[in-house]
Amino acid sequence: MAQTITLTGMALSAAPVGEYDKRIVLLTKERGKVSAFVRGARRPNSQLIAASSPFSFGKFEAYEGRNSYTVVKAEISNYFRELACDVELACYGFYFMELADYYARENLEAVHMLKLLYQSLRALESPSLDNRLIRRIFELKMLVLNGEYPNVFTCLKCGKEEGLSYFHVKSGGTLCEGCGRQAAQARRLGKSTLYTLQYIITAKIEKLYTFKVSEAVLGEVAQIMDEYIGFYMDKEFHSLQVLQENEGFASKFWAGKD
């Protein structure tokens, strides 16, 4: 009989298979994104009902097949029940997991991506944190982990490190005062917004959700992320459409500058 392996991870999605089974997608520390079957998970008395549901985080014992895994046992340490029971939080959570699913790859360890996802979902459970800011932090840090983030540390035209007062999507980052004035479609960038972007990019994952920003700064960050992701990512996220309807976030704050 084949040996089982233990994977530490989170269930990103689940779909019914046949009459009683489920097929789940796991983001794992050891092997990145993997597909797994959970036999009998839809039976009322199954011990794997909760383990085969989205947001479930823990250790999954599974047999490795040619194209997928079969989960036979699970030890779940966090079900994130608060997210599953709150419509707004669930919208954010499903978007985070869909974004993680987009970037994750099979057979590539995903320690940092899994940590980011876990910490972000925990942040959503904190009533003292703004969910809109959590979303933008998660988006930018996910880009960082995959090497696709904007350069906000130098002018992309002349290389200056001071006076970065414009953001230019097509250039992929910041421009100084002189270069920004000459660039079409370059946006003014507040100093606090610049610092916020720089902090998110450089901070350790454990330190990401430790600050707050003004509505003006949040509005600028949101506009930058929407335009940057829209320009560089050829993907429509179904969960994001639902999330945007729930957020009701207006872009009018962009003009505010600290």
According to CATH, the topology of domain 82-154+160-255 is de novo design (two linked rop proteins) (1.20.1440)
Identify the sign of the CA torsion 189, 193, 199, 202: negative
pLDDT of res. 2: 67
pLDDT of res. 242: 85
pLDDT of res. 70: 95
How far is the C-alpha of 138 from the C-alpha of 203, rounded, in Å?
12
pLDDT of res. 84: 84
Segments making up each domain of the chain, as ranges = 4-79, 82-154+160-255
CB 133 within 8 A of CB 218: yes
pLDDT of res. 121: 98
Common-topology check for domains 4-79 and 82-154+160-255? no
Residue pLDDT tens, the chain, 258 long: 468 999 999 999 999 998 999 999 999 999 999 999 999 999 988 999 988 999 999 999 999 988 889 999 999 999 999 998 899 999 999 999 999 999 999 989 999 999 999 999 999 999 999 999 999 999 999 999 999 999 999 999 999 999 999 999 999 999 999 999 999 999 999 999 999 999 999 999 999 999 999 999 999 999 999 999 999 988 888 888 888 887 764 333 333 434
pLDDT of res. 54: 95
How far is the C-alpha of 164 from the C-alpha of 174, rounded, in Å?
6
pLDDT of res. 256: 42
CATH second-level architecture of 4-79?
Beta Barrel (2.40)
Where helices occur in the chain by DSSP H, the ranges are: 81-84, 87-103, 111-124, 131-145, 177-182, 191-202, 215-232, 238-247
pLDDT of res. 246: 75
pTM: 0.91
Coil, helix or strand at residue 46: coil
Q: What are phi and psi of 37, to 5 degrees?
A: -95, 145
How many beta carbons lie within 10 A of that of residue 162, not counting itself? 9
How far is the C-alpha of 24 from the C-alpha of 46, rounded, in Å?
15
pLDDT of res. 254: 32
